[in-house]
Amino acid sequence: MARRLQGKVAIVTASTQGIGFAIAQRFGLEGAAVVVSSRKQKNVDEAVEKLKNQGIEVMGIVCHVSNPQQRKELIDKTVKKYGHIDVVVSNAAANPTVDNILDTKEETLDKLWEINVKASILLLQAAAPYLSKGSSVILISSIGGYHPRATMAMYGVTKTALFGLTKALASEMSPDTRVNCIAPGFVPTHFADFLVKNETIRKLIEDQTLLKRLGTAGDMAATAAFLASEDASYITGETIVVAGGMPSRL
Ligand code: NAP
């Protein structure tokens, strides 16, 4: 594997399983020191163990992305140990309802906004003073941001917001920091269990792709590693759809 991220320090939120874990793993295998985090200490410990066993330089920190103290600790401990930050991947999201938007309770709307959008902004506010020249921010959105589906409509709208946030932050954080976004298609992680464990729905989704398969966490990690690396040094403010050719945008 290429060592494109040698010497870089990368924070990945919600990274003890699924897409976040795969990104941390890929970054680590490409030479980065990675900081993994999620809400549960046990999950953090297990992720750290797995990555260490692959020879990856890793630190684990408990961080619920909407907890201000834990966000601060994530940044502070990273800077204390490594001195600076080169890559931030904001990957955490919640999808707490299948209700229509007009039926969604206010507290659920707040939670969706808080975890899926606001926490990314606040994390980047905290990280900004320590971001190196040439650093890279990656927001994890969703194909659903282009076409919010009926059962996950408001979740989709928060993911649409990340496309705008990517453009706005790319401008605000230039020229020293690039800001890009990944819109994954369907990946069989715990998050997507309710969709892909149903054979009929799974087949339906596969048929909507041109490549006739679901995505893998590794597909998303490969794209994140590219965006974090110097190979993407002239790319900012962009969203890359990694969805096997599912309909998204021109
Ligand atoms: P996943 O496999 O369910 O993993 C979720 C991870 O996030 C776990 O490590 C979990 O650990 C952590 N987590 C959950 N809530 C958190 C919070 N509030 N703060 C910090 N950590 C939290 O999920 P995934 O499928 O990899 O999804 C990752 C991202 O990809 C999300 O932004 C999602 O919207 C996006 N995405 C996924 C798909 C898909 O098909 N899977 C498609 C499009 C977009 P703890 O339980 O220990 O917190």
In tens, the pLDDT along 154-166 reads 999 999 999 999 9
Residue 141 C-alpha to ligand 1 middle, in angstroms? 11
pLDDT at res. 185: 97
Q: Could you list the active site residues? A: 155
Judge whether 219 lies within some domain. yes
Per the CB < 8 A criterion, the answer to whether 201 and 143 are in contact is: no
In which domain, by residue range, is 47 found? 9-242
| pLDDT tens-digit readout, 23-80 | 999 999 999 999 999 999 999 999 999 999 999 999 999 999 999 999 999 999 999 9
Residue 131 C-alpha to ligand 1 middle, in angstroms? 24
Judge whether 1 lies within some domain. no
Sheet strands (E) in the chain: 9-12, 33-38, 58-62, 85-90, 131-140, 177-184, 239-242
Residue 118 CB coordination number (10 Å): 16
At residue 195, does pLDDT exceed 80?
A: no
Cβ < 6 Å from ligand 1: which residues?
Answer: 13-14, 16-20, 38-40, 43, 63-65, 91-93, 115, 140, 142, 184, 186-187, 189-192
Mutate-to-test residue for ligand 1 from 12, 19, 42, highest number of ligand atoms within 8 A of CB:
19
Per the CB < 8 A criterion, the answer to whether 75 and 68 are in contact is: no
Judge whether 4 lies within some domain. no
| pLDDT tens-digit readout, 82-125 | 999 999 999 999 999 999 999 999 999 999 999 999 999 999 99
pLDDT at res. 1: 84
Residue 125 CB coordination number (10 Å): 11
| pLDDT tens-digit readout, 145-154 | 999 989 899 9
Judge whether 250 lies within some domain. no
Nearest CA owner, ligand 1 atom 43: 142
Segment 192-199 mean pLDDT:
84
pLDDT at res. 196: 79
Cα separation, 49 vs 144, in Å, equals 33
Judge whether 249 lies within some domain. no
Judge whether 67 lies within some domain. yes
Number of domains forming the structure of the chain: 1
Segment 139-145 mean pLDDT:
98
Share of the chain above pLDDT 90, in %: 94
Structure tokens at 107: 């507290």
Can you give the CATH number for the domain in which 190 is found? 3.40.50.720
pLDDT at res. 162: 98
Segment 183-205 mean pLDDT:
90
Structure tokens at 21: 């874990």
Residue 138 C-alpha to ligand 1 middle, in angstroms? 15
pLDDT at res. 197: 84
pLDDT at res. 176: 98
